[in-house]
A and B are shown apart, each in its own frame.
Chain A
Amino acid sequence: MRHGDKVPKLGRTASHRRAMLRNLVQQLFVHERIQTTLSKAREASRHAERMIRFARQDTVAARREVATFVGDRAVLRKLFNDIGPRFVERQGGCTRVLRLGVREGDGAELALLELVVRKESEREKQVREKAAKGSGRGGKKSKSPAEEKPGRKSRGKQKPG
């Protein structure tokens, strides 16, 4: 029987869990994409979707309802002015969870939680540019699509050394 198992406890007391999920959801709205463990991402996604559902309505009542979960005024503003309008056309499914694999150390499965319609943050841009530089050979990303997708067997030739 899985009675009473509807909400994942995430190894926390109710207040700790609520506080953590609020943090995750707020950070998601600020950064548009966050990395966390798979189970936290899934649970946070449910709450984030709920907040976006309210934000689409754009009424004072909705704003107050959301304010009970999203404490940060600036985040609240962004949610209603920027994020909400992006998802007006959608019937939910505003967030996406991408599985990343297992974390070294504790073996926890990591995931990215992101808004389906999102902007690249400053930090992300830095990471991308840094990754593109590296010290290896030149731009893999700048190649044309034809070169990017060789046949199955040509892999060895693509990567000398």
Chain B
Amino acid sequence: MPVPKRRHSKERGRKRRTHWKLTAPTVVECPHCHDPKLPHRVCPHCGYYAGREVIFVSKDKEKTR
């Protein structure tokens, strides 16, 4: 069975992980309700997309956002 010959330092592991980075999602302003939303998706706050209401968001949800 192969087994590590040397102890692996904290630095070594941390250096490897310097390339693990998070990327922020792209967010755009909804042209209808001006809330932030993801591009090319129906706005979850007002239910609009491409200038039309496509899904119906309940008033309760609209308020609590």
A137 to B44, CA, bound (A): 19
Instruction: Please report which residues of chain B, range 40-65, place their CB below 8 angstroms from some CB of chain A when the two chains form the complex.
Output: 40-42, 44, 49, 53-60, 62-63
CB contacts (< 8 Å) of B42 on chain A: these are 98-101, 112
Docked-complex contact A101 and B55, CB < 8 angstroms: no
**Alpha-carbon distance A99/B62, docked complex (angstroms):** 19
Q: How far is the CA of A100 from the CA of B38 in the complex (A)?
A: 9
Chain B: number of interface residues, binned into ranges: 20 to 34
- Residues in B with CB closer than 8 Å to A159 are 63
Closest chain B residue to A138, Cβ basis: B59
B54 with A137: CB separation less than 8 A: no
Q: List the interface of chain B (C-beta within 8 A of A).
A: 29, 32-34, 38, 40-42, 44, 49, 53-60, 62-63
- Where the two chains meet, the residues of A that have a C-beta atom closer than 8 Å to any C-beta of B are 98-101, 112, 127-128, 130-137, 140-141, 148-149, 152, 155, 159, 161
